[in-house]
Amino acid sequence: MNDLWIEKYRPKTLADVVGQDEIVERLTAYAKTKNVPHLIFAGPAGIGKTTCALALSKELFGETWKQNFNELNASDERGINIIRGKIKDFARTAPIGKNKFKIIFLDEADNLTNDAQAALRRTIEKYSHICRFVLSANYSSKIIEPIQSRCTVFRFRPIREDDIKKAIRKIASKEKLEVTPDGLDTLIFISRGDLRKAINVLQVGASVNKKITADLLYEMSATAKPEDVKALISTALTGNFMAARNQLYDMLIKYGLSGEDVIKQIHQAIFNLTIPDESKIRLIEKTGEAEFRLVEGSNAHIQLEALLAQFALEGKTLR
């Protein structure tokens, strides 16, 4: 595996960005007028926030974009020192060339502590004449209100299925891969609107076989087949707890899943069950409790077995 495809095929211009047409249109207008406000890019992972920031900088600054663009990740250093040090040092220096300002891109800004965000607010105010800030966040609500009020908020949405398929077909053509129809559908299922994840899973599969099938992708991505998860739940609902437990451990070994992976897929599968809505509500509630306990550090096997036991008890009410 040589280059990472996510970098190799990253769009170089705003026009090439996939699945964010309305946002691209507004950013393109900023680039043409050279008039950019402070920005917040909000949305889930893998949908183009960093790509848009890079493409915007390239269109604004041309050949000098690397000298006028500084990317930092707030999850690496979350405290006030990163604001007083790296960010302030870059913000106070003049832009290179004939540009009126430069850009600081702060990825995962919602991971900054409140003290760090308060210091950032002051830095934004002080250096607005020569610096623009672009903050990327999974949850914009975690960014303090004084910063939000100084920025234009762009809300990114998960990439549509058709756009993901188009991007995957383009990469497959250039890499001389054969992606089967079920393989393409599997990439859509695995990625859930995250184009970065879809491309990375595709590359991992391509390192094993040039023919990309559903079975290959499930093995490479540590994702259980939906039919296996549905069979697990159905067995539990019949009241056969021990058989369901055996199926669970077969899945954990076969796909190399973590406890949270299993619970997420169980959660998705519940909505497709042919059972009354009242039962679905109770199962979702029990699934949420198990997921919370796992996040808090509980033993995954015990929590998954407890969840299957709850499914078996719920199955008694359906018979």
Pair 305, 264 in one domain: yes
Q: Determine which of 51-65, 76-90, 259-273 has the lowest per-residue pLDDT on average.
A: 76-90
- Check which CATH number belongs to the domain holding 270 and give it: 1.20.272.10
Same structural domain, 179 and 60? no
Residue by residue, what is the 3-state secondary structure of 213-253? CHHHHHHHHCCCCHHHHHHHHHHHHCCCHHHHHHHHHHHHH
Same domain, 184 and 143: no
Digit-coded pLDDT (tens) for 213-237: 998 898 888 788 889 999 999 999 9
Specify the long-range contacts of residues 22-27, CB closer than 8 Å, at least 24 apart: 23/52, 23/154, 23/156, 24/52, 26/154, 27/52, 27/55, 27/56, 27/154
- CATH number where 209 lies: 1.10.8.60
Same domain flag for 112 and 28: yes
Same domain, 77 and 59: yes
Q: Is the pLDDT of residue 81 over 80?
A: no
**143 plus 169 within the same structural domain:** no
- Tell me the average pLDDT across 57-86: 79
Q: Are residues 16 and 140 in the same domain?
A: yes
pLDDT in tens, 112-139: 888 888 888 888 888 888 899 999 999 8
- 121-126 long-range contacts, CB within 8 A, separation 24+: 121/146, 121/147, 121/150, 123/83, 123/87, 123/88, 123/91, 124/38, 124/150, 125/150, 126/91
In a shared domain, residues 165 and 101: no
Domain boundary among 140, 155, 170: 155
Residue at a domain's end among 189, 206, 221: 221
Q: Is the pLDDT score of 86 beyond 80?
A: no
pLDDT attached to residue 163: 92
The amino acid at residue 152 is T
The residue from 155, 175, 196 where one domain ends is 155
Please say if the pLDDT value at position 37 is more than 60. yes
Q: Are residues 206 and 295 in the same domain?
A: no
Specify the pLDDT at position 88: 80
Contact 46, 197 (CB under 8 A): yes
How far is residue 204's CA from residue 184's CA, in Å, rounded to a whole number? 14
Domain containing 206 equals 161-221
At 90, is the pLDDT very low, low, confident or very high (cuts 50, 70, 90)?
confident
Name the DSSP class of 41.
E
What does the pLDDT read at residue 169?
Answer: 93
124 and 59 belong to one structural domain: yes
CATH number of the domain to which 79 belongs: 3.40.50.300
Q: What is the mean pLDDT of the chain?
A: 89
**pLDDT value of residue 170:** 92
Position 2 scores a pLDDT of 61
Please check whether residues 95 and 233 belong to one and the same domain.
no
Q: Do 253 and 118 belong together in one domain? A: no
Please tell me the distance from the alpha carbon of residue 52 to that of residue 124, in angstroms, as a whole number: 21
Q: Give the number of domains in the chain.
A: 3
pLDDT at 78: 61
Q: Which residue has the higher pLDDT, 221 or 103?
A: 103
Cα–Cα distance for residue pair 113/80, rounded to 1 Å: 8
Q: Is the pLDDT of residue 1 over 60?
A: no
Is pTM beyond 0.75? Reply is yes
Residue 302 pLDDT exceeds 90: yes
Q: What is the mean pLDDT of residues 255-283?
A: 90
- 309 token code pair: 């036991």
In which band, very low, low, confident or very high, does the pLDDT at 109 lie, cut at 50, 70 and 90?
A: confident
